[in-house]
Amino acid sequence: MGRMEKITPINSSQIFVIYEPAMFGTFICNLLLQNKKTNKLLSDSQGYNAHKSEYKDRLKKFHNHRDAMALLGKNDLEKINFFKSLSKYNYSVHRLCSYAFLQLNFDKFFNNYVKIIIRPKTSKLMMYAERFVQTTKDNDYRKQFWAKNFRNKNIDTVPLYFTHGMAVKECKKYLQEHSKYLKNYNANKVNDIFFDPDNIANFDMLQNLIKNAMSKVNLQPNKLPLKEVKQFIQINKKFLP
């Protein structure tokens, strides 16, 4: 068997925003963009998210939990080929919507990077589960896991408060289950920044997050758009302290 070629890590600046659904990951990614044409943050149908703002995923299949598990199943050579196009860019921001991405050995593939790990208080998981449900585009409860219990019944006759409550309960279970990746994770003091999503309500703490992250990868930090951030916070105030 041939000897594997030595891995040469990518030198360009990389910021990985790692979070779970409803924890403002796309919002944070938008704030990390450079040379934005606009500061539009509120363009999706629900109004709570920033999913139709200027941020676009740099790599395909590098976003959700399914993508994480597929990537972790690749060998080193396959991972090198997966990431190699990033070397064409001076700076990339990645929204990784699963704590499972924490299992990736970032040091092996990147020289100049930082991970922003969005970690809420355990006591706030129910609130983020509520936001998970309210900001999900497809709210057809019949497609959700717990709905199998109503397979022989007309779910449309079930009171809305019940179906909504069941959806929130299942989302909380999902968030709790994924928290195991955090419990088993050994933090890297050099490359990791932990951020409580409740703190987006504090403009100064939010600005410090962006400043610290961009400085760690040798970039001039963005000055956040106060008006647009305040508008985003106002719309999401029922989910924030």
pLDDT in tens, 118-173: 999 999 999 999 998 887 655 555 555 555 555 555 666 667 777 778 888 888 99
Q: Alpha-carbon distance 197 to 176, whole Å? A: 16
pLDDT in tens, 164-200: 788 888 889 999 999 999 998 999 989 999 999 999 9
Q: What is the mean pLDDT of the chain?
A: 85
**Element (DSSP H or E) covering residue 118:** strand 113-118
| Domain extents in the chain | 13-121+188-239
Q: What is residue 4's predicted lDDT score, i.e. its pLDDT? A: 54
Cβ-proximal residues to 32 (8 Å cutoff; 6+ apart), any chain: 15, 17, 93, 210, 213, 214, 222
Write down the pTM of the prediction. Answer: 0.87
Q: Alpha-carbon distance 51 to 5, whole Å? A: 39
